[in-house]
Amino acid sequence: MDGPDSPVRGVCHVFHEVVERPSARSVARRGPIGSIGGFLERFQRSGGVPAAVGEETALELVPVFAALDAFELEAAELQRHAEQVAAHRLHEAEEGAKEIMAGARGLADSERDDALKAGLRAADVDASQIVARADVEGRRIEEVGRARLTSLVDEVLARVLEAP
């Protein structure tokens, strides 16, 4: 992002040229129009209007407006670049979110299948236990029935023999 052709490098370079170049005076900064302190001092004394209004003032302002135009162009380029980067990152984030959601759906389906299989295994175990208990109960009922059957047959036979 900070390479030699980077828009950010251009801003720093222009900013350095305008603000960071020292002048003969230690407090003033020298830009494309000369001493900034002296230039601004003219506006400060007169309440915002330069003391000498005329072609000389207009000529002094040409480099200022040229520098502002350069800054505006550079700012517009930086904004376009930032918008492109933001759009690219947003697209990458959306694609990443889609991949995460697809993975989550696959995992959810897998977990749902595993839970279903576990439920079916538990139901099979419960059914096996119920069948085993039913077999035990069936054998008990059969034994009780056989025991009663013998005494019932004996009772029916005794009544038949007693009958006239």
Choose between 64 and 41: higher pLDDT: 64
Number of folded domains in the chain?
Answer: 1
In a domain, 120, yes or no: no
Q: Is the pTM of this model over 0.75?
A: no
Choose between 157 and 49: higher pLDDT: 157
Q: Which of 15-19, 74-78, 142-146 has the lowest mean pLDDT?
A: 15-19
In a domain, 142, yes or no: no
In a domain, 129, yes or no: no
Give the model confidence (pLDDT) of 102-121 as tens digits.
999 999 999 999 999 999 99
pLDDT at residue 23, as a whole number: 37
- Mean pLDDT for the chain? 76
Determine the structural domain holding residue 19 and report its residue range: 7-115
In a domain, 96, yes or no: yes
In a domain, 29, yes or no: yes
- Buried-exposed string 133-150: b where 16+ CB fall within 10 A, e elsewhere: eeeeeeeeeeeeeeeeee
In a domain, 19, yes or no: yes
The CA distance from 67 to 76, in Å, is: 14
Q: Which residues pair with 31 in a beta bridge?
A: 34
In a domain, 102, yes or no: yes
